[in-house]
Amino acid sequence: MNFSEKDNLQIKEKGISNEEVEDQIAIFKRGNLKVNITEAATVGKGISRIEATEKHELINFYNSEKSSYSILKFVPASGAASRMFKALHNFSEEFDPENDELRDYLDKKADADLQRFFDHVDKLPFYKHAVNKAKKSHPDYEDLSHDHQHSILVHTILDQDGLYLSNLPKGLVPFHKYDTHISTAFEEHLFEAAKYITVDGVARVHFTVAEGDREKFETEWNDVRERVEKSTGVKFEIHYSYQDPKTDTIAVTGEFEPFRTEEDTLFFRPGGHGALIENMNQLDADIVFVKNIDNVVTEDKVQQVADHKKLLGGKLLKVQTKVYEYLETLDKGNVSHEKLDEIQTFLNDELFVKSGSDGDMFVENLKHKLRRPLRVCGMVKNEGEPGGGPFLVKDSDGNTSLQIIEGAQIDNNNPEQAKTAREATHFNPVDIVCGLKDHKGEAYDLNEYVDEDMSFIADKTKDGKELKALERPGLWNGGMARWNTIFVEVPVETFNPVKTVSDLLKDSHQPA
């Protein structure tokens, strides 16, 4: 690929090499690779169902052991709220209260979420604020028709001279209304974190944010700090990071030539949430809980969520302790055949890592399979919610392991693969706890455990022109493909994402 001097400078400023750009272009030419799913992970076959007695044991074990570890909560929070308000934006552009009737518009759209919004808008946490602003900008508001009021209210929620909520990071949108205050998802994550990651009176939380939004998050923290720390009795250490520009990826045309902007510069796009593996790699922690910014509940419901977080943490610490024990035994050498068989059985039955190795390489192969980051992932029964699913996957070397796979990674044109996909009973709510250090206390280089073949090509547009974009292997998909993985069933009540503004009207987001 021949790049100009201007191109070379731009690439260098990104912190990447020309070879990396050429490798990305080669991926475009290769196309998306489908994974080979051999079975859907189900309860008893890849997914553990923890009964009440064991649940209490794991929670107690986590509570008793956590003070020996550096624990942190990692929250990807760079997403904007724009998608959350998409239906309202469409309404604001399409609905004319002078000529249209709201009932007719809603019937035509047949959008249950939009219908719920208008039926219960008064229960939204920002409703009173929006109405007060609407009345100030429209002194005749009380005299207008019901439909006209709704139109003004939507514009007030969205527009720059109103609340301008869709321009906020999702983490800073008002989520819950209490008697004394209104809280954001950011604040709820802190309240939740205090329940299970506090060590010596301190809870450490790390948010990945868009670079231009950090000051907004810091302002929010300054506003809520006294309330949160007084309510929880916990001090917080809050840190932020941005997606590294060097994780951006080149965009190409349909002919696989580098896409150029109207200013004739190369066009790089953020590499998706998979790029955050680099942010995680920089964390100074033994144990890291991962959860999306919009998956929170109100304070009266948080204890159940916290208990299942402790359950996952206890499971991780139990298994990790066993892994460390086996690695220390293998390092000493002269291991009995019985012990080697025990370790092999552990890999097969506990971690679902299937691979064969005989002779002189057997011990080294066991070490190789054991010495890698460990994650325990909560899995929820599939009740129609979107999200990747848990599967047993065979790689190109014939090794089988547990993986979280997105629908786009599955070859649905292959009848057998499509059949296996339909057999999935659970989905991934992004409820993960990670062990980031080995038995010697050394941090893993997480980049070594990424499967780059799980990158994803998508069709996008820029300046009205079509392009192909490359997303790095998803953080909990290909980004963790070579980790050791355990799936544990968790109740659907622990999964309460806010994908549309109407989701805020669900019971999980309405304080008791």
The tens digit of pLDDT for each residue in 145-174 reads 999 999 999 999 999 999 999 999 999 999
pLDDT class for 414, splitting at 50, 70, 90? Answer: very high
117 within 8 A of 502, measured Cβ to Cβ: yes
pLDDT class for 385, splitting at 50, 70, 90? Answer: low
Residue 356's pLDDT is what? 59
Residue 275's pLDDT is what? 93
Model confidence at 231: pLDDT above 90: yes
| 458 token code pair | 């998508």
Model confidence at 112: pLDDT above 90: yes
Model confidence at 341: pLDDT above 80: yes
Average pLDDT score over residue span 71-96: 96
Model confidence at 30: pLDDT above 70: yes
| 287 token code pair | 């144990």
Strands 36-40 and 465-471: unpaired
Residue 10's pLDDT is what? 95
Q: What is the pLDDT of residues 185-217, one digit of tens each?
A: 999 999 999 999 999 999 999 999 998 999 999
Average pLDDT score over residue span 262-282: 94
- The radius of gyration computed from the CA coordinates of the chain, to the nearest angstrom, equals 25
Distance CA 433, CA 435 (A): 7
Each residue of 169-203: b (16+ CB within 10 Å) or e? bbbbbbbbbeeeeebbbbbbbbbbbbbbbbbeeeb
Q: Please, what are the domains in the chain?
A: 5-79+247-338+374-509 (3.90.550.10), 82-167 (no CATH)
Region of 125 on the Ramachandran plot (φ > 0 left; ψ -120 to 50 alpha; else beta): alpha
Model confidence at 243: pLDDT above 70: yes
Establish how many alpha carbons lie within 13 A of residue 285's alpha carbon, considering only the half-sphere containing its beta carbon: 26
Residue 40's pLDDT is what? 95
Average pLDDT score over residue span 279-307: 97
pLDDT class for 407, splitting at 50, 70, 90? Answer: confident
Model confidence at 287: pLDDT above 60: yes
What are the backbone angles phi and psi of residue 371, rounded to the nearest 5°? -85, 85
Give the residue carrying structure tokens 């997403």: 79
User: Taking all residues of the chain, what is their mean pLDDT, rounded to a whole number?
Assistant: 94
pLDDT class for 483, splitting at 50, 70, 90? Answer: very high
Distance CA 450, CA 316 (A): 20
DSSP, collapsed to helix, strand or coil, labels residue 310 as helix
Region of 430 on the Ramachandran plot (φ > 0 left; ψ -120 to 50 alpha; else beta): left
Average pLDDT score over residue span 214-232: 98
Cα–Cα distances in Å, from 492 out to 58, 337, 341, 497?
A: 20, 43, 37, 11
Contacts of residue 476, defined as CB under 8 A and 6 or more positions apart, other chains included, come to: 290, 377, 388, 404, 428, 430, 432
207 within 8 A of 217, measured Cβ to Cβ: yes
Strands 374-381 and 484-489: parallel
Model confidence at 355: pLDDT above 80: no
77 within 8 A of 143, measured Cβ to Cβ: no
The percent of residues above 90 in pLDDT, for the chain, comes to 91
Q: Which among 186, 425, 384, 200 has a CA at the least distance from the CA of 291?
A: 186
Model confidence at 359: pLDDT above 60: no
Residue 396's pLDDT is what? 83
Residue 21's pLDDT is what? 95
Region of 387 on the Ramachandran plot (φ > 0 left; ψ -120 to 50 alpha; else beta): left
CB atoms within 10 A of CB 336: 9
**pTM for the model:** 0.94
The helix or strand, by DSSP H or E, that contains position 269, with its residue range, turns out to be: strand 268-269
Q: Which among 482, 476, 474, 431 has a CA at the least distance from the CA of 455?
A: 474
Model confidence at 500: pLDDT above 60: yes
The residue type of 32 is N
The percent of residues above 70 in pLDDT, for the chain, comes to 98
Q: Would you say the C-alpha torsion 54, 56, 59, 64 has a positive or negative sign? A: negative
Region of 233 on the Ramachandran plot (φ > 0 left; ψ -120 to 50 alpha; else beta): left
Tallying the residues shown for the chain, one arrives at: 512
pLDDT class for 2, splitting at 50, 70, 90? Answer: confident
Residue 1's pLDDT is what? 72
Contacts of residue 99, defined as CB under 8 A and 6 or more positions apart, other chains included, come to: none
Residue 386's pLDDT is what? 58
Average pLDDT score over residue span 382-387: 69
Residue 357's pLDDT is what? 58
